[in-house]
Amino acid sequence: MQVSSKLLTKHLNDVDETYHQHFFHAAWYFVMLLTAAVCALVHAILPFLFETTASRIIYALHAKMEARHLFNE
């Protein structure tokens, strides 16, 4: 149990978040990625719908991650 606890707290300290903050950030990314995936699937079936939605969501997620310095590890 001690090793798992250290792994959890190390990551939370690395990203400077509490457990709840981390949960909500991760859940938000999940919802946004799921939204992008659904839009991409609908676009695959009906190409005239959501022409740029999935890529715009992905670009926005990337910008948010860069702003939070998540790629500097």
Nearest CA among 52, 54, 64 for reference residue 33: 54
String of DSSP letters for the chain: -HHHHHHHHHHHHHTT--HHHHHHHHHHHHHHHHHHHHHHHHHHHSTTSSTTHHHHHHHHHHHHHHHTTTT--
pTM, two decimals, is 0.80
pLDDT digit string (tens) for the chain, length 73 residues: 466 778 778 888 988 899 999 999 999 999 999 999 999 999 999 999 999 999 999 999 999 988 877 665 5
Distance CA 63, CA 12 (A): 21
